[in-house]
Amino acid sequence: MPTGLLAFALSDIVVRYGSTLAVDHVSVDSVPGRLTALLGPNGAGKSSLLKALSTAERPESGRISIFGHDVRAEPKLARRRLGLVFQERTLDKELSVERNLWFHARLFGMRRADAAEQIDRLLGMFGLTGHRGKAVEKLSGGMARRVELVRALLHRPGLLILDEPTTGLDPHSRRVVWDDLLRMRDELGVTTLYSTHYMEEAEHADTIVIMSDGRVGRRGSPEELKDELDASRVLLSTYDDVAAAAHLRAAGFDVVTGFGELAVRCADPDRRIAEIVGAVGVPVLSVSAHRPSMDDVYLAATAG
């Protein structure tokens, strides 16, 4: 793989449905082997962006490439590098797990020996070997989702696109699916772009892109986005908050009052607790460190 080649690159993408602007000049990219999460409220443009990258939707303007293949100039080559798992279940429920996979292999023109080897390997990797002869309709929702992941990886795509991959799954099945996705990145080097409404699922990502009104509001790693809020603080309750606030300000701390407790804004609050308590000058009733959560980041990026 040439140095510097991006797994995917969307440059200045515009998607419009009639008079509705769904995606407004969005640029997003990723190097290979990374997880990118796409967040945003309903109508933010997430699904439209994923459809454009998957070649299911032709953007009004902008450029899209997948491992260096322009999707307009080389659509077949671009699609061969793609694996897709969307919200809607697309497996044939009446067919067995194995027959669903063989249908996909034929669709991509895989040689029989290669397909057989891949099917055996991936079923083993995902713990599905004992279920290969079962009809899909007999599987649990989480197990069926794993079959869809196997199918998406069968032709060795390199880039996996997932639209709300765990919607409708119980907590255990969601956790199993995420164990699979992380293993795919770490063991197979698969690049993944996924949308989700679950903040805890966004925490798994190397990069988070938050969309609002068709645009990118914020982008960065989970830690970078939290740090950008500048909302880390130490929370204090004391016998005399007025005196405590005065002592802390005299010691150079940024103190906020008026919420029933004192808030001392600072970076890395866990490490500053002892220093802050030492400067209070009055007995402390309670103390805790607070760092922004992904909920805080999401709300700040999508407010209004």
CATH number at residue 254: 3.30.70
Q: Which of 226, 260, 286 is the endpoint of a domain?
A: 226
Q: Are residues 76 and 19 in the same domain?
A: yes
Q: Are residues 173 and 260 in the same domain?
A: no
Q: Are residues 118 and 196 in the same domain?
A: yes
Identify any residues that bridge with 12 across adjacent strands, giving them in sequence order.
Answer: none
Whether 3 maps to a domain, the answer reads no
Whether 218 maps to a domain, the answer reads yes
Q: Are residues 174 and 286 in the same domain?
A: no
Mean pLDDT confidence for 229-236: 86
Extract the tokens encoding 85.
């798992």
Q: What is the dihedral of CA 231, 236, 241, 244, to 10 degrees?
A: -90
* Sheet-wide strand order for 8-17: 20-30, 8-17, 61-66, 69-70
DSSP state of 187: I
pLDDT at 129: 95
- Cβ-contact 288, 264 below 8 angstroms: no
Matching residue, tokens 């919607």: 167
pLDDT at 233 > cutoff 70: yes
Q: Which of 226, 261, 277 is the endpoint of a domain?
A: 226
SS3 category, 162? strand
Q: Are residues 215 and 185 in the same domain?
A: yes
Give the integer Cα–Cα distance in Å for 167 and 16. 26
Whether 106 maps to a domain, the answer reads yes
Other CB atoms within a 10 A radius of the CB of residue 214 amount to: 23
Of 99, 84, 88, 16, which is closest to residue 50 (Cα–Cα)?
84
Percentage of residues in the chain with pLDDT exceeding 90? 74
Length reported for the chain: 304
Structural domain boundaries, residue 207: 8-226
Give the integer Cα–Cα distance in Å for 43 and 48. 9
For the stretch 124-168, pLDDT in tens is: 989 999 999 999 999 998 899 999 999 999 999 999 999 988 888
Domain count, the chain: 2
pLDDT at 48 > cutoff 50: yes
Q: Which of 204, 226, 248 is the endpoint of a domain?
A: 226
Question: Who's near 288: CB < 8 A, 6+ residues apart?
Answer: 234, 235
Q: Are residues 137 and 240 in the same domain?
A: no
Rg over alpha carbons for the chain, rounded to the nearest Å, is: 24
Whether 188 maps to a domain, the answer reads yes
Q: Are residues 139 and 268 in the same domain?
A: no
- CA distance readout (Å), 108 to 3, 31, 80: 28, 25, 8
Of 155, 194, 157, 154, which is closest to residue 178 (Cα–Cα)?
194
Question: Who's near 150: CB < 8 A, 6+ residues apart?
Answer: 101, 119, 122, 123, 126, 128
Q: Are residues 211 and 298 in the same domain?
A: no
Instruction: Name the band, by pLDDT with cuts 50, 70 and 90, for residue 304.
Output: low
Q: Are residues 171 and 292 in the same domain?
A: no
- With 0-12 / 13-18 / 19 or more C-beta atoms within 10 angstroms meaning exposed / middle / buried, residue 95 is middle
Whether 1 maps to a domain, the answer reads no
Whether 144 maps to a domain, the answer reads yes
CATH number at residue 216: 3.40.50.300
Q: Are residues 218 and 263 in the same domain?
A: no
Extract the tokens encoding 46.
């997430």
Q: Are residues 21 and 77 in the same domain?
A: yes
Kind and range of the H or E run holding 277: helix 269-280
Instruction: Name the band, by pLDDT with cuts 50, 70 and 90, for residue 1.
Output: very low
Whether 2 maps to a domain, the answer reads no
Whether 149 maps to a domain, the answer reads yes
Q: What is the mean pLDDT of the chain?
A: 91
pLDDT at 3: 43
Give the integer Cα–Cα distance in Å for 33 and 235. 39
Q: Are residues 19 and 38 in the same domain?
A: yes
For the stretch 159-218, pLDDT in tens is: 999 998 888 888 888 888 899 899 889 988 999 999 999 999 999 999 999 999 999 999
- Cβ-contact 202, 267 below 8 angstroms: no
